[in-house]
Structure 1
């Protein structure tokens, strides 16, 4: 029996006053409506719309899967459903938007020094704030969606697109996002407004009171590296979970070895490995069993992963998975579940020979 997921409409979450109303759950948004998401490690996307794998839901709308999207930390109006519709109507934002609730540590959304030219409201900006714990969202964005956001945020003028290494970002499912992309201050008007020498958190006062604030622009204290050009989904994460022929000492290791930094570490992943009978194993994720393997760090994942994709071929699909410790890795799963039902499971993993 299928689970009916009732969508919500933009009117339930008005955009004014800035930063607007935000749903209390992760959601996917398209055509003026949003659908709640729930985490599920058995889904290739890691998320479901009702019983549907989010990747399948996206494919039905000719949209890229989760693995082709970058994690963009959003802390202002870009997590408001009505704002998403505005972006579609005015800046050509394409396709469904995937927004995952996230908790940030040692980071804060604070009021910026300048006002928005569009409506005179005071926008948010990101800053370092030791000890702060806040609720925000991570937008799993396609490169085309980032281009629309670049125009909205005035990339290179008001904000810059950067990888943020300050603090910690943990998704609703417990996954940790290392160095997420985010729009951070690029000019005086988007630096934090310091009142009596301190930034003012957006959670502490609303828009009307924020407009009355008086102070001066100050540093955001963030450790960031500005992004040159469009972000690439293959850049995150820089870790790969291997359980078969790509393990050190196995047949595929010579292809992978030049891209690996340092020694691997033992790890387990919820799932089951099957014997294909062809000299290599096949992984499926819909199980509470634990598959043993290794986590390897890649020197240049954007260069390594396309080569590994060709090696694995069309029988396998590269997805992001969450390990029990919350770290996110790439791995390869078998694409045809009907095949797996005819293949014997390997209860102790795949031995390296």
Structure 2
């Protein structure tokens, strides 16, 4: 049975920042389709279509070809997404995951939107604060549309965020997400009696009447991004479970790109024997596959070498690797993409 889709009318855009669905969703054709997570993101309830397959069915890039973009204002509102389609040419399904942030807050900005005169928000440092926001898994083409909407390098700058923590609904911690941060004076936090005002504490009507001065900065540690974002740049770690493990025959290929010490971890899945001297990982929510997490100095360069080594039998996906009870670490890994019928249980004595 197809899952329910929620029309934009359920989530009006006014007043800014607009109504936000209480679930993760993929947006297309003026409708929001809820997402759920088990071992992967799915459209609808548990057992629904795998999101990557759903995206492929709509001719859209998979999750591995998208970047995590923290969205704290109107960009998480479905009606605003449709406005981006009609006014600025946004195309394709938009994937929006609910997120919890720590030590960050959406605060009211010093200026107003030119198109309707409403006060906008901006992100600021907020020690001790916990808020609910969203993460777009955006294609580079979708980011280019947002660049025009946000006035990149004029009103806002696109940056990799180094302050605070961001966790999505699947429990994954998103390290250094991309984010639009205030740049011009009218997009810096508004200080009222010397302090910023959180959007969670004051609605648009009250915020419109605020009187204050622009803050000198947002208090955030962030690195400005130049040019188009590369999805291969995140995450910077890879989970390996076969010939690329430390001490195994292909380790030198990865070792030349690694920094720090590899650490043991597990991911949701099971490792099988291909019969060709190398194993295959199949994602599986009922078991944990052991391996190693390796941090890469330059993931864009390293992944090119690893993709060529793994070949077409594998597909590169993002997974959460855990080494205990803490939050999962985002990692790349290579899952089996060829025929599963020939896979067998690993032989006794297989070294992991």
Give the TM-score normalised by the residue count of structure 2. Answer: 0.95
Match of 2:166 in 1: 169
Q: Does 1:295 align with 2:293?
A: yes
Match of 2:224 in 1: 226
Match of 1:328 in 2: 330
Match of 2:340 in 1: 340
Moved more, 250-259 or 190-199: 250-259
Give the counterpart of 2:137 among 136, 140, 147. 140
Q: Which ranges of 4 or more aligned residues in structure 1 deviate by more than 3 Å?
A: 46-50, 347-350
Deviation at 1:349, TM superposition (A): 9.0
Residues 107, 121 of structure 2: 8 Å contact kept: yes
Once residues 151 and 349 of structure 1 are traced to their aligned partners in structure 2, the CA distance between those partners, rounded to angstroms, is 57
- With over 3 angstroms needed to count, the CA separation of the structure-2 counterparts of 1:310 and 1:243, relative to structure 1, is same
Once residues 20 and 239 of structure 1 are traced to their aligned partners in structure 2, the CA distance between those partners, rounded to angstroms, is 36
Match of 2:351 in 1: 351
Residues 195, 216 of structure 1: 8 Å contact kept: yes
Deviation at 1:263, TM superposition (A): 1.3
SS in 1 for 2:253: helix
Give the counterpart of 2:13 among 9, 12, 15. 15
- With over 3 angstroms needed to count, the CA separation of the structure-2 counterparts of 1:212 and 1:248, relative to structure 1, is same
What CA deviation, in whole Å up to 9, does each residue of 1:252-298 have, x standing for no partner? 11211110002100111121111111010000012422211100000
Q: Does 1:122 align with 2:119?
A: yes
Match of 2:265 in 1: 267
Once residues 342 and 229 of structure 1 are traced to their aligned partners in structure 2, the CA distance between those partners, rounded to angstroms, is 44
Give the counterpart of 1:131 among 89, 113, 128. 128
Match of 2:26 in 1: 28
Give the counterpart of 2:276 among 263, 268, 278. 278
Once residues 344 and 276 of structure 2 are traced to their aligned partners in structure 1, the CA distance between those partners, rounded to angstroms, is 12
Match of 1:76 in 2: 73
Once residues 98 and 283 of structure 2 are traced to their aligned partners in structure 1, the CA distance between those partners, rounded to angstroms, is 23
Match of 1:64 in 2: 61
Deviation at 1:57, TM superposition (A): 0.4
- With over 3 angstroms needed to count, the CA separation of the structure-2 counterparts of 1:275 and 1:14, relative to structure 1, is same
Match of 2:103 in 1: 106
Q: Does 1:194 align with 2:227?
A: no
Once residues 271 and 10 of structure 1 are traced to their aligned partners in structure 2, the CA distance between those partners, rounded to angstroms, is 37
SS in 1 for 2:335: strand
Match of 1:258 in 2: 256
SS in 2 for 1:169: strand
Deviation at 1:210, TM superposition (A): 0.5
Match of 1:244 in 2: 242
Residues 97, 139 of structure 1: 8 Å contact kept: yes
- With over 3 angstroms needed to count, the CA separation of the structure-2 counterparts of 1:309 and 1:16, relative to structure 1, is same
Moved more, 47-56 or 176-185: 47-56
Deviation at 1:31, TM superposition (A): 1.1
Paired residues, what number? Answer: 345
Residues 257, 297 of structure 2: 8 Å contact kept: yes
Once residues 49 and 98 of structure 1 are traced to their aligned partners in structure 2, the CA distance between those partners, rounded to angstroms, is 13
Give the TM-score normalised by the residue count of structure 1. Answer: 0.95
Deviation at 1:167, TM superposition (A): 0.3
- With over 3 angstroms needed to count, the CA separation of the structure-2 counterparts of 1:347 and 1:162, relative to structure 1, is farther
Q: Runs of 5+ in structure 1 lacking a partner?
A: none
Match of 2:92 in 1: 95
Q: Does 1:157 align with 2:159?
A: no
What CA deviation, in whole Å up to 9, does each residue of 1:185-244 have, x standing for no partner? 111000000000000000111101001000000021000000010111111110100000
- With over 3 angstroms needed to count, the CA separation of the structure-2 counterparts of 1:224 and 1:347, relative to structure 1, is farther
Give the counterpart of 1:179 among 146, 171, 176. 176
Once residues 350 and 175 of structure 2 are traced to their aligned partners in structure 1, the CA distance between those partners, rounded to angstroms, is 29
Residues 109, 202 of structure 1: 8 Å contact kept: yes
Once residues 343 and 111 of structure 2 are traced to their aligned partners in structure 1, the CA distance between those partners, rounded to angstroms, is 62
